[in-house]
Structure 1
Amino acid sequence: MITITYFGYGSLVNAATVPDGAEIVPGRLKGWVREWRVCGVWENGQGRCALSVRQEPGSEIRGVMTREQQSRLHALEQRESRYEKIGQIGTSFRCEAESKPGPEELFLFKATPENERWGCDRHPILQSYLDCVLAGFHQIWGEEGVSHFFDTTDGWHVPVLKDRAVPLYPRAVEIDTKLLQLFDDHVERQNLTLISA
Structure 2
Amino acid sequence: MKKFTLFCMAFLSALTSTFALADATPVKGIAPAGAIQDVCHPHPEPGQNQYIAGYGSLLEKASRQRTVPNAGAAVPVRVQGFRRAWIAQGSPTGFSTTFLGVSMDARSRMNAVLFALPDETAISAMDRRENGYCRVKISAAQITALDKSPIQPGERWIYVNKPQNTAPPSRTYPIVQSYVDVFLSGCLEVERAFQLEGFARECIVTTHGWSSHWVNDRIYPRRPFIYQPNAGAIDALLKRELPLRFRSIRIE
TM-score by length of 2: 0.67
What residue number does 1:157 align with? Answer: 211
1 or 2, which has the higher strand percentage?
Answer: 1
Q: Does 1:50 align with 2:120?
A: no
Structure 1: gaps (5+ residues): 168-172
Aligned to 1:170: none
Tell me by how many angstroms 1:102 deviates.
Answer: 5.4
> Do the aligned partners of 2:49 and 2:154 also contact (CA within 8 Å) in 1?
no
2:129 paired with 1:79: yes
Distance in structure 1 (CA, Å) of the matches to 2:173 and 2:97: 4
Highest Rg: 1 or 2? Answer: 2
Structure 1 residue 36, shift from structure 2 partner: 0.4
Residues 56 and 145 from structure 1, CA distance in 2 versus in 1: closer, same or farther, beyond 3 angstroms?
same
Matched, 1:146 2:204: no
Instruction: Verify: 1:100 aligned to 2:131, yes or no.
Output: no
Count of matched residue positions in the alignment of Structure 1 and Structure 2: 191
8 Å Cα contact 2:50/2:154 also seen in 1: no
Is the alpha carbon distance of 1:103 and 1:175 closer, same or farther for their aligned partners in structure 2, counting shifts above 3 Å? farther
Q: Is the 8 A contact 1:163 1:196 kept in 2?
A: yes
CA distance in 2, matches of 1:99, 1:30: 17
Unaligned runs of 5+ in 2: 1-46, 222-226
Counterpart residue number, 2:175? 125
- 2:201 and 2:138 map into 1 onto residues whose CA distance is 28
Distance, in Å, in 1 between the alignment partners of 2:151 and 2:202 is 21
What fraction of aligned residue pairs are identical, expressed as a percent? 23
Question: What is the match of residue 69 of structure 1?
Answer: 118
SS at match of 1:191: helix
Superposed, 1:14-25 pairs within 5 Å as: 14-19=60-65, 20-22=69-71, 23-25=73-75
Taking the TM superposition and a 5 Å limit, the aligned residue runs for 1:174-185 are: 174-185=228-239
2:228 aligned counterpart, secondary structure? coil
SS in structure 2 at match of 1:17: helix
* Aligned-pair CA distance for 1:156: 1.1
State how far apart, in whole Å, the 2-side matches of 1:177 and 1:63 are. Answer: 21
Give the number of the structure with larger relative contact order, counting CA–CA contacts within 8 Å between residues 6 or more apart. Answer: 1
- Answer yes or no: is 1:7 the counterpart of 2:57: no
